[in-house]
Chains A and B, each alone.
Chain A
């Protein structure tokens, strides 16, 4: 189609704020952070080119390795668990059932609050030595540990917080379930297929692209988690580094020690990791994501 001059001019005019943002707020800073990742820069002195030193430092930085481990465990555990809970709840919420709107709202609310400082504060208390969980355990005679002050359980409490916010993937699952034609199930019933057979042969394949979408979205988000770990650990990433998420370590290096070069190198590592995992997911999707026709 030929482009008219009028449309071209208007097109760029309407696009102008976004274009400026793209250059000034996104691409420019990306290039700058790529440059800074090869420098030593503390905001006061000019950046000093040090080549690959930051990246070499990463190889021997135990704290960085630990933060990577913490983040991988968090992503690998909390994302699938959250999606399973979201899907299970969505399946329970049939269309046309009584009180659907009410349940949907109740389950969705934590998703909106979950990333706030207030909820992180609440979590810190709930899993504290004298917190709600231990009070409940005391009722049945169990003397619970201080969950957030114990390196073995601290990360688990943040994973639970993530699962608690299953409402937003649940809503997406609900929308996906609604698109599956009822006639498929009716036909399957006529053929005598059991409920579980229907689930594995109809629901799961037809929902696979939605599962994939949720998986990618939640994974990218989980890699960038920050607030919860920051508040629960009081900014330290403790106890014993057990909640030092990668982004929290990046914050400590960049905005705590003002080692902006190292923080930039870390940011690029994060981007490569997220890109890699996304790519792996897309490649793997060929084998399990079902496309009609």
Chain B
């Protein structure tokens, strides 16, 4: 039994090392002079080379802080949008009885499977007709319309797990639906709201396609698009600064992961989110 445990842990640690090695190597490489990156598979550091960070930070038209701020604006808008619109829809699906509810619920589930590309061209045309290209609006406004069906589904599941007696007691006390929703259910939904917020944060932060098609002016670049512009500007000539800025772009995701992993892991276990 003991040897079996040791074998198992050895296997798991082995897998873990393979999983993390590229990331650790990227961190180390971002602190190395370029010529060393091309011939050092190891993880040791002789002396810290911070110039990759300082140089990379200002290598594009704007300092990297600009792109971080742009991403932060989009992410913040998306989180608020998803929290508000998805929770409202979820309450309607989970707690209210009306004609058409089941039909709409089925449609909501169907949209979970809809490939994004089927709607992307007309959406692009719509937003450009509205004059919204080169603004953050196409990346934020849809979130206020509960277009991320995953989160609606997640919250419906969550609300269904809350005792109905709570609502009924509130009705006895003369509360209307807005009060039941805002004062009774919403405070209890914090775990589901946190999951939604963290996933929205990470997905929106990583979103490349949307930012790529809507944001063409360098002032508005979000971090992924800026990184891409960075590759084009630097070529593969300076992996050091490329890695340095990659690390900068991953850091917020990593922090979100550290603080939110309890919610993240439970979130995917229950609904199969990415």
**Contact residues of A with B, CB < 8 Å?**
1, 3-4, 6-8, 10-22, 24-26, 28-30, 32-33, 36, 43, 89, 92-94, 97-99, 103-113, 115-119, 121-126, 128, 130, 132, 135-136, 139, 164, 168, 171-172, 174-175, 213-214, 217, 220-221, 223-224, 226-227, 230-231, 234, 247, 250-251, 254-255, 260, 263-264, 266-268, 270-271, 274, 278
Residues of A within 8 A of B161 (CB): none
Please, how many angstroms separate the alpha-carbon atoms of A11 and B22 in the complex?
50
Given A108-B265, A121-B242, A260-B121, are A3 and B272 neighbors across the interface (CB < 8 Å)?
no
Answer yes or no: B164 CB below 8 A from chain A CBs. Answer: no
Please, how many angstroms separate the alpha-carbon atoms of A19 and B111 in the complex?
12
If over half of B's interface residues share one DSSP class (helix, strand or loop), that class is named, otherwise mixed; here it is helix
The answer to whether A106 and B19 have CB atoms under 8 Å apart is yes
Interface residue total, chain B, C-beta cutoff 8 A: 93
The answer to whether A43 and B125 have CB atoms under 8 Å apart is yes
Given A25-B142, A220-B115, A263-B121, are A172 and B242 neighbors across the interface (CB < 8 Å)?
no
Residues of A within 8 A of B16 (CB): 103, 106-107
Most chain-B Cβ atoms within 10 A of its Cβ — which of A21, A107, A267?
A21
The answer to whether A3 and B41 have CB atoms under 8 Å apart is no
Answer yes or no: B144 CB below 8 A from chain A CBs. Answer: yes
Most chain-B Cβ atoms within 10 A of its Cβ — which of A13, A94, A98, A112?
A112
Please, how many angstroms separate the alpha-carbon atoms of A221 and B112 in the complex?
11
If over half of A's interface residues share one DSSP class (helix, strand or loop), that class is named, otherwise mixed; here it is helix
Residues of B within 8 A of A221 (CB): 274
| Number of A-B contacts defined by CB within 8 Å | 269
The answer to whether B145 and A106 have CB atoms under 8 Å apart is no
Answer yes or no: B62 CB below 8 A from chain A CBs. Answer: no
Nearest residue, chain A, Cβ from B129: A43
The answer to whether A26 and B147 have CB atoms under 8 Å apart is yes
B13 CB to closest chain A CB (Å) equals 8
**Contact residues of B with A, CB < 8 Å?**
5, 8-9, 11-12, 15-16, 19-20, 22-23, 25-26, 37-41, 84-86, 88-89, 91-93, 96-99, 101, 104, 107-108, 111, 113-126, 128, 142, 144-147, 152, 176-178, 181, 202, 205-206, 208-209, 212-213, 223-224, 227-228, 231-232, 236, 239, 242-243, 246-247, 249-250, 253-254, 257, 261, 264-265, 268-270, 272-274
What are 16 inter-chain pairs, A to B, with CB distance below 8 A?
A3-B97, A7-B96, A14-B91, A14-B177, A18-B88, A25-B147, A92-B8, A108-B261, A117-B228, A117-B246, A121-B242, A168-B274, A214-B272, A250-B117, A268-B118, A271-B114
Nearest residue, chain B, Cβ from A268: B118
The answer to whether B9 and A99 have CB atoms under 8 Å apart is yes
Please, how many angstroms separate the alpha-carbon atoms of A115 and B232 in the complex?
19
Please, how many angstroms separate the alpha-carbon atoms of A221 and B203 in the complex?
14
Most chain-A Cβ atoms within 10 A of its Cβ — which of B117, B118, B122, B144?
B117
